[in-house]
Chain A
Amino acid sequence: MTDSPNQPAAVDERIKERSPLREALIRPELGGIMGTAIVFVLFLLFASDSGMFNSQGILNWSQVSAQFMIIAVGACLLMIAGEFDLSVGSMIGFCGMMIAIFSVTMGWPVWLAIIVTFALCIAIGALNGFIVIRTGLPSFIVTLAFLFILRGFTIYLPQTLERKTIIGGVKDAAEGDWLAAIFGGKILTGLFQWMGDAGIIATFERGSNIGKPVVDGLPMLIVWAIVLIIFGHILLTRTKFGNWIFASGGDAEAARNSGVPVNRVKILMFMFTAFCACVFATCQVMEFGSAGADRGLLKEFEAIIAVVIGGALLTGGYGSVIGAALGALIFGVVQQGLFFAGVESSLFRVFLGVILLFAVILNTYIRRIITGER
């Protein structure tokens, strides 16, 4: 070979030129980006005077979206690693319930309750992964079993211990707790006060809180969502481990042959999904001050839908955390936006189904172009 590396490679007549615009558009997130744009344009047109885009309105749909995002990040990485977790919703219920039982029923300090619950739930996530790896069964089946097992315990434990299915009083127990504040607190209160004073966001005009902004800070729930998205995105695209995630989901056997520790990657991703479910549950428990046996119902599907809208492949090996986050944003904005627009809320499902279908069709088309599937 006489080519020096600096010389441009000989032009292959079979490689067609592609326009830069097309190059820029061809990315896994395209479906999510377009969906987000459509959703925002629609609601700006039809619900702009409903309060959806004032400070409370934005907080409202951002919080709902942030919830979806937290579980979508976990589901996304796990799906790219080639596995599913259907137990996410039950894990949310179980995790919240365990925090309430430890802190209220058993009287532990809240920080200890949170740490023990996280450890327990992540261990269950690892068990999920371990069973999937060891038995070679589809993760669909294994985690479906845990969907029922965990939900069963979530109902059984409070009934046996407290004779009820909702345990309240977590808020009182969490008062002044350092770890609880990381999940239930708010940051940037000074900034929001300043924005209120400057007239950028609405303030209370009467009552005891007069002069204070209606939205007095950024909830930790949203901070967690942003941190997890950035972490997930960098992990997936910019690290060695991210390459292993893609490889494990793309073709586990080929990855193993190349020395990728596929089993470890998959089990870690099950644990990360459980971690995300715990973050969701803890934020929720701290916000509501109680844990209910029916919390997190159907969340696993909502997470999977968000991930699929975001361009991930159901069979693994392909996807994007940013896309999944956009999918979650679409979810949150549509769910809350229909309420603001005064549309019958049952239409949410219709809208969601339509968006899901279009996003997936678009994503499949893009993926074919990128990967040369035929």
Chain B
Amino acid sequence: MSEPIIQMKNIEKHFGSVIALAGVSVDVFGGECHCLLGDNGAGKSTFIKTMSGVHKPTAGEIFFEGQPMSFADPRDAIAAGIATVHQHLAMIPLMSVSRNFFMGNEPVKSVGPLKFFDHDYANRVTMEEMRKMGINLRGPDQAVGTLSGGERQTVAIARAVHFGAKVLILDEPTSALGVRQTSNVLATIDKVRKQGIGVVFITHNVRHAMAVGDRFTVLNRGKTLGTAMKGEIEHEELQDMMAGGQELAQLEGSLGGTV
């Protein structure tokens, strides 16, 4: 592998007296799926928000394609090619798929001095991209509210890819999904990775991470516990690292290894 697309070095983020991140380092290469694991409150959300330009790090450096970077706001990060697909907040259910698809990136067609939303283009592209991802829409004007949770995530991922994302951050895309929908999303991640895009997959489900991940980084209480390659680490080890070891080991004993 050559140079990482994005490299985060010793990122710290303090909110008042709370230290949310205490020196986290992660790098993402093109064409890999980098899983970021951690329990609730580990700092996953804060970390990806720093990566996507929502928060400014208190300390630490961000290199994007080798250049030091500082994003003023999410639009900057999006323009650079860092796209985030949020857990629940990816789509607006009341709006049509094509309106959602182009939200914030509306294609315009000029008529004289006036600029209009180019619905024909938007509709055509939306249908095409959805077909590529294996979703059959009734029409581009179908409301997102009529899609299932997995389909919504897929629309959001397709949207990010279409708009030239180099790094795709997925914030717990599978946490609220059923088995089949989860496998659809994981398949989508695989398709995206094969296009050379770096995927950051945030989850607390080790099983989902193991299914598609190339590398795994575990966050715990605002710190990285190291990064491991696929095949170097076992399911149980990841689980233990996330939970901080002790309690879960005891629990696991009493639950008969079902966690």
**A residues at B contact (CB < 8 Å):** 1, 3, 5, 9-12, 15, 18, 234, 237-240, 242-244, 246-247, 250-251, 253-260, 313, 317-318, 370-373
B108 x A240 contact (CB < 8 A)? yes
Contact among A1, A15, A255, A373 for B92, CB-based, below 8 A: A255
**A-B pairs with beta carbons under 8 Å apart, 14 shown:** A1-B132, A9-B127, A15-B138, A237-B117, A242-B117, A247-B103, A250-B93, A257-B86, A257-B89, A258-B103, A259-B78, A317-B92, A371-B94, A371-B143
Bound form: Cα–Cα A287–B93 in Å: 45
CB-defined contacts of A372 to chain B, threshold 8 Å: 93, 143, 145-147
A243 x B84 contact (CB < 8 A)? no
CB-defined contacts of B78 to chain A, threshold 8 Å: 259
CB-defined contacts of B128 to chain A, threshold 8 Å: 5
Bound form: Cα–Cα A9–B142 in Å: 15
Q: Does B9 contact A (CB under 8 A)?
A: no
A260 x B136 contact (CB < 8 A)? no
CB-defined contacts of A313 to chain B, threshold 8 Å: 94
Known: A1-B131, A243-B106, A260-B104. 14 other contacts (CB 8 A): A9-B127, A244-B104, A251-B89, A254-B89, A254-B92, A255-B103, A257-B86, A258-B105, A259-B105, A313-B94, A370-B143, A371-B143, A373-B93, A373-B145
Q: Does B134 contact A (CB under 8 A)?
A: yes
Chain B 127-157, CB-CB to A under 8 Å as 1, else 0, gives 1100110101110000101110000000000
Q: Does B74 contact A (CB under 8 A)?
A: yes
Q: Max chain A CB contacts within 10 Å: which of B102, B127, B146?
A: B146
A5 x B131 contact (CB < 8 A)? yes
Bound form: Cα–Cα A240–B106 in Å: 6
A259 x B104 contact (CB < 8 A)? yes
- CB B119 to nearest CB in A, in angstroms, measures 8
B94 x A246 contact (CB < 8 A)? yes
Nearest CB in chain B to that of A247: its residue: B103
Contact among B74, B102, B116, B119 for A257, CB-based, below 8 A: B74
Q: Does B90 contact A (CB under 8 A)?
A: yes
CB-defined contacts of B104 to chain A, threshold 8 Å: 244, 247, 255, 258-260
- CB A352 to nearest CB in B, in angstroms, measures 27
Nearest CB in chain B to that of A319: its residue: B94
Contact among B86, B116, B131, B137 for A254, CB-based, below 8 A: B86
CB-defined contacts of B108 to chain A, threshold 8 Å: 239-240
Bound form: Cα–Cα A63–B93 in Å: 38
Bound form: Cα–Cα A373–B143 in Å: 10
- CB B92 to nearest CB in A, in angstroms, measures 4
B94 x A318 contact (CB < 8 A)? yes
Nearest CB in chain A to that of B98: its residue: A243
Bound form: Cα–Cα A69–B104 in Å: 30
CB-defined contacts of A244 to chain B, threshold 8 Å: 104
Bound form: Cα–Cα A257–B73 in Å: 10
Bound form: Cα–Cα A11–B136 in Å: 8
- CB B129 to nearest CB in A, in angstroms, measures 10
A247 x B131 contact (CB < 8 A)? no
CB-defined contacts of A3 to chain B, threshold 8 Å: 131
Bound form: Cα–Cα A239–B110 in Å: 11
B145 x A243 contact (CB < 8 A)? no
Contact among A12, A239, A254, A318 for B115, CB-based, below 8 A: A239
- CB A232 to nearest CB in B, in angstroms, measures 15
Chain B 73-94, CB-CB to A under 8 Å as 1, else 0, gives 0110010000010100111111
Bound form: Cα–Cα A244–B108 in Å: 13
Bound form: Cα–Cα A9–B137 in Å: 9
B131 x A9 contact (CB < 8 A)? yes
Bound form: Cα–Cα A255–B99 in Å: 11
7 residue pairs, one from A and one from B, having the closest CB atoms: A372-B146, A250-B92, A259-B104, A240-B106, A258-B104, A371-B145, A372-B145
B74 x A251 contact (CB < 8 A)? no
- CB B54 to nearest CB in A, in angstroms, measures 9
CB-defined contacts of A253 to chain B, threshold 8 Å: 89
A9 x B136 contact (CB < 8 A)? yes
Nearest CB in chain A to that of B143: its residue: A371
Contact among B90, B99, B115, B136 for A243, CB-based, below 8 A: B99
Question: Known contacts A9-B136, A240-B115: does B103 contact A371 (CB below 8 Å)?
Answer: no
A250 x B105 contact (CB < 8 A)? no
A317 x B95 contact (CB < 8 A)? yes
Bound form: Cα–Cα A10–B131 in Å: 9
Bound form: Cα–Cα A370–B91 in Å: 16
CB-defined contacts of B132 to chain A, threshold 8 Å: 1
- CB B148 to nearest CB in A, in angstroms, measures 10
